[in-house]
Chain A
Amino acid sequence: MACYMFQALGTHGPVLSPTTSLVLDVILVVAAFWLLATPSKKSLGDSLLLVTLVLAVSATRVLMQPLPNIQPVTVAALIIGAQLGARRGAAFAILVAMISNAVIGNGWWTIFQAIGWASVAVMGSKLALIVNGELQRSRLFIAAIASAFVFDLIVSLSIIDSSFTLLTFLTYLAHGIPYDLLHAVGNLTFAVWFGSWFADVVAEDIVVEEIEFTAVESIVQQS
């Protein structure tokens, strides 16, 4: 919705200087790697999988950019949050926002998009979308629809400046409702068509090394 709302009101948020832009990028990268730096050992395959997911979803976002407010990242963040947890989901969201915006257009809004999709990932991790390894499709569909509005609301905050009153902001949000709905329908479509497949793709294999690592860690902690 962001760019369409910008288009609707002709407002772009603050123009970033190169230094500010660099600082924001550094903050986002640090945040992503901090989130990825979990205490548990991850295999090379896991890392490669996450990198692949980030690149694949970023590329999909770029490819689908001509379609108005169709955001494949939202459902991906939701499912990755549900499968891999909030930390890796949020890291995924931040990296996708940065990488895809490097092609589509970087700016003040990138940080809000990163926060928006990270919030969606956290939402996915808390909603019990996957129970006993099974994707709860109905919950996913509802979450996919709701996450469109959550993400769009967070991104819309990027527009607020000193001239905005509550009424102005509400007017601004109202302008974007058709595109919020489009985002929701797009999310639902992704969830219906690719939700199960993507959840299977993202599902982690518990390898022997990880079991051993977890067991050793628990023994070390007990001793």
Chain B
Amino acid sequence: MNRLQRSLIFCAIFLILSTGSASAISSPSESDQIYGFEAQWVQQFDAGYVTTAPIIDNATIFVRTSGMWIGQERPQVFAYELTGKELWNNTNLNATQHDMSPLKIIEAGQGQCGTWSKQLIIGWSDGLIESLEPMTGLRNWHYQSEVNVWGITGSLAQDEDKLVAPTRTGIVSLCLADGTLIQNTTTDLGWRNGVTVTDTGYLVGDENGTLWHLSREGNLTSYPLAIGKIRHPPLLTNGGIVIHAQGQGQSTIALLDENYSIINSHISGSSPAMPIIVDGYLVTGDSSELRSFDCSQNCSALSSLSFATNGEMAMGLDSQFMVPLNTAQGGWKGFTLVENGLLEHIRGFQPGFSTYTTAAPAVYSEADSDWLVLANDAGRMAVYWRGLNETNIIDEVDENLSIDNDEQNYNQIILLAIFSSFCAILFIVGKPQQGKKFSILLILIVAVITIPTLSTQWSGKVDDLSATIGDEGATNGVEGEWNQSWPEHWRDTQVLIIEIDGQQQIMGGYSGYDNVLQLTTQAASDLNITISSQQSDLGTYITSFNDHQGQGWEFFVNGTRGSLSAENVVIEENTIVHWLPA
């Protein structure tokens, strides 16, 4: 064995040790400090996502999990002390849809319908509304609302002695003392359509883009806005009511006057987040950008930043509002509004792991410390703490780290230019071998950076070309277009076909499902078809229908072969999903 070979053995040992270290680093770990906050503890939930913000009240953290449940697991609500000790948990065995209704704490009080103690309100996707005693999790009262595929998905509100809840099919108001039904009004189907309490009653939107007003006297009025689905509680501003509605591939930010007529609107990106009011300014988010508006009069657009957020935004600490980044990188970004409502990115919170993020953070301050709770779509919650005397240090760090995407791109270009110059210098000074070496390294770096993006565009071209040529062999018999034999009320809805043993099982009329897996799970349930699935790093894959596994299953969306796992293929309304044995 020569010297080189001996050194190789040492290198190998080093590499193997490094591999272990790298694995440890890439594993979710929140041990790092983030902007003065120190990680205290981490909770990885066994199953599901966290898609709504945890809340902290009286030094207790409440958090809920969510998901499309097709196995044994079900959604849960947990209560923890700030130290990480679990106080209680509450599982809803009947909830199988996404539980996205934010948890709500109601302070103790009294009113015409009675007296109530402090309570935690949970709205479940199976339509159940529960009032729990926050410290013990014991149930005070409950109410079962109507279910149409799912039940409660939007935010609830308090109106003096009443709890107002947007049910799947309407609005109910309940006495906070004992859950007695006070009002129950039917509107149209809604999803994540939180309710807003106004001087005159309650406002809620629906999937058809209709805004509903229910007066306290029980008068219901509808206002069809025709700008898309309303999936957030309407916002009240000085200039009027703001709706950020989800349309086909875009969204509309609309300002309504007191008569619920649109007086101004802006077109924005797709899949809007829940808008919020920050320092009197409106902040909206969607898959393309974060925007600010001055809604003191007519909601004029002020500024925008490239960003992708589709969930909740919330006020954080240090006068920032925090926005989850819904990309594979994930994490949260802190922003402020400066100089007449202009957006400024302050800092990012990336707690040691990368995944899609839709829940807003929770913040909590007590005597001499601040708490920050971050939870993501991977069902992982990290709790951070900082002492208040460290605030000045944090502010210094913030200024240095205030960057935006443009700056990052600029830095990349600068680095590449420096690297290129270095290569050129090597050639000029008569070191062509070194020049070639560094040049090929430069090409590799550029390729690694650019090819993932180029590949997406390339795949689009390939798909177009493939469609032109006609991939008949693979798509024979695939339903990709409206079939006249189907019930007319399925038209322009989501339709699912599962072909088992050559027999098509078809169900349609669905609306609001965001991906193939969601639609498949629900439709299969309605068709009384059992599903087996498999989790992988690339998402959830269906492995069998009614125990028919065969050589696997594949799906087509509007006649096109599914390009990702069922969980990751986004569908719109008017979509036909067809499952076939591979």
- Assess whether A171 is interfacial by the CB under 8 Å rule: yes
Residues of B within 8 A of A53 (CB): 8, 12
Report the bound CA distance from A103 to B19 in whole Å. Answer: 10
- Assess whether A60 is interfacial by the CB under 8 Å rule: yes
Report yes or no: B538 in contact with A7, Cβ–Cβ below 8 A: yes
Report yes or no: A48 in contact with B1, Cβ–Cβ below 8 A: yes
Take A9-B563, A181-B451 as given contacts and tell me if A49 and B1 are in contact as well, using a CB distance cutoff of 8 Å: yes
- 1/0 per position for B140-178, CB-CB distance to A under 8 A? 000000000000000000000000000000000000000
Residues of B within 8 A of A178 (CB): 451, 454-455, 458
- Assess whether B107 is interfacial by the CB under 8 Å rule: no
Q: Which residue of B lies closest to A56 (CB)?
A: B12
Residues of B within 8 A of A12 (CB): 536, 541, 552
Report yes or no: B19 in contact with A62, Cβ–Cβ below 8 A: yes
Take A67-B448, A168-B471, A175-B459 as given contacts and tell me if A14 and B551 are in contact as well, using a CB distance cutoff of 8 Å: yes
Q: Which residue of A lies closest to B442 (CB)?
A: A189
Report the bound CA distance from A121 to B1 in whole Å. Answer: 22
Give chain B's interface secondary structure class: helix
Residues of A within 8 A of B454 (CB): 178
A64-115 contacts to B, CB under 8 A, are 66-68, 70, 103, 105
Residues of B within 8 A of A105 (CB): 537
Report yes or no: B9 in contact with A48, Cβ–Cβ below 8 A: yes
Distance in angstroms from A141 CB to nearest chain B CB is 9
- Assess whether A222 is interfacial by the CB under 8 Å rule: no
Distance in angstroms from A149 CB to nearest chain B CB is 15
**8 Å CB contact of B447 from A182, A192, A200:** A182
Report yes or no: A188 in contact with B459, Cβ–Cβ below 8 A: no
Binds B, one of A25-33, A124-132, A157-165: A157-165
Report the bound CA distance from A174 to B469 in whole Å. Answer: 14
B420-476 contacts to A, CB under 8 A, are 436-437, 440-441, 443-444, 447-448, 451-452, 454-455, 458-459, 462-463, 465-466, 469, 471, 473-474
Report the bound CA distance from A70 to B580 in whole Å. Answer: 34
- 1/0 per position for B2-19, CB-CB distance to A under 8 A? 101101110110011011
Distance in angstroms from A82 CB to nearest chain B CB is 16
- Assess whether B398 is interfacial by the CB under 8 Å rule: no
- 1/0 per position for B519-554, CB-CB distance to A under 8 A? 000000000000000101110010100000101101
Report the bound CA distance from A205 to B473 in whole Å. Answer: 56
**8 Å CB contact of A9 from B9, B11, B455, B561:** B561
- Assess whether B219 is interfacial by the CB under 8 Å rule: no
- Assess whether A22 is interfacial by the CB under 8 Å rule: no
Report the bound CA distance from A69 to B564 in whole Å. Answer: 18
Report yes or no: A59 in contact with B582, Cβ–Cβ below 8 A: no
Distance in angstroms from A73 CB to nearest chain B CB is 13
Residues of B within 8 A of A15 (CB): 534, 543, 549, 552
Take A53-B8, A193-B437 as given contacts and tell me if A63 and B451 are in contact as well, using a CB distance cutoff of 8 Å: no
- Assess whether B23 is interfacial by the CB under 8 Å rule: yes
- Assess whether A186 is interfacial by the CB under 8 Å rule: yes
Take A179-B451, A201-B5 as given contacts and tell me if A161 and B551 are in contact as well, using a CB distance cutoff of 8 Å: yes
Report yes or no: B563 in contact with A68, Cβ–Cβ below 8 A: no
Report yes or no: A168 in contact with B474, Cβ–Cβ below 8 A: yes
Residues of B within 8 A of A162 (CB): 551, 582
Report yes or no: A192 in contact with B459, Cβ–Cβ below 8 A: no
Report the bound CA distance from A36 to B543 in whole Å. Answer: 39
Report the bound CA distance from A63 to B447 in whole Å. Answer: 19
**8 Å CB contact of B582 from A45, A63, A161, A182:** A161
**8 Å CB contact of B451 from A60, A68, A175, A200:** A68
Report the bound CA distance from A174 to B458 in whole Å. Answer: 9
Report the bound CA distance from A201 to B8 in whole Å. Answer: 7
Residues of B within 8 A of A66 (CB): 26
Residues of A within 8 A of B551 (CB): 14, 161-162
Take A6-B538, A15-B543, A185-B447 as given contacts and tell me if A171 and B16 are in contact as well, using a CB distance cutoff of 8 Å: no
- Assess whether B565 is interfacial by the CB under 8 Å rule: yes
Residues of A within 8 A of B534 (CB): 15
Q: Which residue of B lies closest to A61 (CB)?
A: B19
Q: Which residue of A lies closest to B564 (CB)?
A: A10
Report yes or no: A181 in contact with B447, Cβ–Cβ below 8 A: yes
Residues of A within 8 A of B563 (CB): 8-10
Distance in angstroms from A195 CB to nearest chain B CB is 11
Distance in angstroms from B531 CB to nearest chain A CB is 15
Residues of A within 8 A of B443 (CB): 185, 189
Take A15-B543, A178-B454 as given contacts and tell me if A52 and B9 are in contact as well, using a CB distance cutoff of 8 Å: yes
Report the bound CA distance from A2 to B30 in whole Å. Answer: 32
Residues of A within 8 A of B23 (CB): 62, 103
- 30 pairs, A vs B, C-beta closer than 8 Å: A4-B455, A11-B554, A12-B536, A12-B541, A45-B5, A49-B1, A49-B5, A49-B8, A59-B15, A59-B16, A63-B18, A162-B551, A163-B580, A167-B466, A167-B469, A175-B458, A177-B458, A178-B451, A181-B451, A182-B447, A182-B448, A188-B440, A189-B440, A189-B441, A189-B444, A192-B436, A197-B4, A201-B4, A201-B7, A205-B1
Which chain A residues have a beta carbon within 8 Å of chain B's beta carbons? 4, 6-12, 14-15, 45, 48-49, 52-53, 55-56, 59-60, 62-63, 66-68, 70, 103, 105, 161-165, 167-168, 171, 174-175, 177-179, 181-182, 185-186, 188-189, 192-193, 197, 200-201, 203, 205
CB-based closest 6 A-B pairs: A165-B473, A56-B12, A45-B1, A59-B15, A178-B455, A59-B19
Known: A10-B569, A49-B1, A70-B448. 14 other contacts (CB 8 A): A10-B562, A12-B552, A15-B549, A48-B1, A55-B12, A55-B16, A59-B12, A63-B18, A66-B26, A168-B474, A174-B465, A177-B458, A179-B455, A189-B444
